[in-house]
Amino acid sequence: MTYSQILGTGAYAPKRVLTNRDLEALVATSDEWIVSRTGIRERRIAAEGEDTSDMAVVAARHALAMAGCAPEELDMIIVGTISADMPLPSCAALVQAKLGARNAFAFDVAAACAGSLYGLSIADRFIATGGARRALVIGAELLSRLVDWTDRNTCVLFGDAAGAMVLGPTEDSARGLLSIHLHSDGAAADILNIPGGGSRTPPSVDMLERKLDKVHMNGREVYKYALRVLPLAIEEALSANGLGVGDIDHVVSHQANLRIVEAALERLGVPMEKCWVNLDRYGNTSSASLPISLDEANRAGRLKQGDLIAMMAIGAGMAWGAGLMRW
Ligand code: ACO
């Protein structure tokens, strides 16, 4: 049987740092409030002229270099994003052109903060069934252009960044992706969305004045929802593979909020030391968050061959999931 294995990881975050103190000058907030409620201390903001695909390409080049894979060897490119450069074509198509990955087909996945986990799941199945030998999965978000900088409920939470993973096949059943389990609940669409700018409410002066092109969120409902489903998703992945919580060596999670990650792991009985935490430096980078965490843990030498890595992510939709892989 063929499994897919991660051959390389990469990440990129823009240079400009926006601290909680900087935000105090923009909205009625405080460093103490943001740190105590979210764990976030600073986030990165893309430069003028820097696009989502630009960030994605830098992260991808790092992952390709680690994998020893030339762009022309790629068979497929998936970008998980809700902040593509433009509505049409996909961010992945622009990435394909910028990388010169002329043999790859490319498309975006719109699963918000779960986008890179969804993308990983698709790439895994293409590789396992022989439909692709080299896949590039990217999570890239430029959320600083999608938040209302006068809304303290949302603008303190998000940051810009990209993370990338290159996958290839392995016959070694002791390594690679074991399984990924995905879920969606469109009935909860109203707790986190960008209501305007699509076909229902196309761009107009009225739409812009009502800020319908910006992120709208019921933070408390998102928090409760995430805590309800994330531990269940990890348990589902463990049970599907005949494994238990004690088998987990590392957790690589989407980082929306430190309290969500801490509470989810506490419910599971997994110590926080097993989780790579970086949202203090980047904030919530949506689909980029999981691959950036994986890349940082990888480059820090934390992941040893054979280690069991549990992944979890949740975002607007709601869309969520969990997966397991042997490093
Ligand atoms: N600074 C100061 N005060 C604030 C801020 C801020 N940045 N934001 C909100 N407040 C105020 C609110 O207005 C409210 O004031 P009020 O009581 O006078 O109305 C007060 O703080 C308490 O607000 P709550 O919403 O009760 O605060 P809570 O403890 O729930 O924390 C938070 C808010 C951090 C958003 C929390 O609900 C949360 O983490 N939710 C998860 C949301 C999330 O992570 N979303 C990311 C996108 S989704 C994803 O990635 C999964």
Active site annotation includes 254: yes
Contact 310, 177 (CB under 8 A): no
Tell me what pLDDT residue 130 has. 94
Asked if residue 234 and residue 196 are part of one domain, the reply reads yes
Asked if residue 162 and residue 33 are part of one domain, the reply reads yes
The CB of 96 under 6 Å from ligand 1? The reply is no
Active site annotation includes 113: yes
Exposed, middle or buried: residue 36 (CB in 10 Å: 0-12, 13-18, 19+)?
exposed
Point out the ligand 1 atom lying closest to the alpha carbon of residue 220.
Answer: 37
Whose tokens are 């969804």? That residue is 118
285 CA distance to ligand 1 middle (Å)? 17
Asked if residue 95 and residue 64 are part of one domain, the reply reads yes
Asked if residue 204 and residue 120 are part of one domain, the reply reads no
How far apart, in whole angstroms, are the C-alpha atoms of residue 109 and residue 118? 7
The CB of 287 under 6 Å from ligand 1? The reply is no
Contact 318, 260 (CB under 8 A): no
Closest by Cα among 216, 234, 119, 99 to 165? 119
Tell me what pLDDT residue 226 has. 96
Tell me what pLDDT residue 173 has. 79
Domain C-terminal end among 173, 199, 223: 173
The CB of 32 under 6 Å from ligand 1? The reply is no
Asked if residue 237 and residue 126 are part of one domain, the reply reads no
Asked if residue 168 and residue 264 are part of one domain, the reply reads no
What tens digit of pLDDT does each residue of 263-314 get? 999 999 999 999 999 999 999 999 999 999 999 999 999 999 999 999 999 9
**Total number of domains constituting the chain:** 2
Asked if residue 221 and residue 145 are part of one domain, the reply reads no
Tell me what pLDDT residue 171 has. 86
Asked if residue 194 and residue 160 are part of one domain, the reply reads no
Asked if residue 81 and residue 52 are part of one domain, the reply reads yes
pLDDT at 1 over 90: no
Q: Which residues constitute the domain of residue 133?
A: 3-173
What is the dihedral sign for C-alpha 47, 51, 56, 58?
negative
* pLDDT, averaged across the chain: 97
What tens digit of pLDDT does each residue of 66-94 get? 999 999 999 999 999 999 999 999 999 99
Active site annotation includes 250: no
What tens digit of pLDDT does each residue of 179-227 get? 999 999 999 999 999 999 999 999 999 999 999 999 999 999 999 999 9
Going by CA atoms, what residue is nearest to atom 3 of ligand 1? 29
Q: Which entry of 62, 69, 91, 113 is annotated as an active-site residue?
A: 113
Q: Please report, rounded to a whole number, the percentage of residues in the chain having pLDDT higher than 90.
A: 98
Whose tokens are 């992941």? That residue is 303
Asked if residue 306 and residue 243 are part of one domain, the reply reads yes
Tell me what pLDDT residue 172 has. 86
32 CA distance to ligand 1 middle (Å)? 13
pLDDT at 132 over 90: yes
CATH code at position 88: 3.40.47.10
The CB of 314 under 6 Å from ligand 1? The reply is yes
With b for 16 or more beta-carbon neighbours within 10 A and e for fewer, the 144-181 pattern comes to bebbeeeebebbbbbbbbbbbbbbbbbeeeebbbbebb
Average pLDDT over residues 245-261: 96
Asked if residue 82 and residue 125 are part of one domain, the reply reads yes
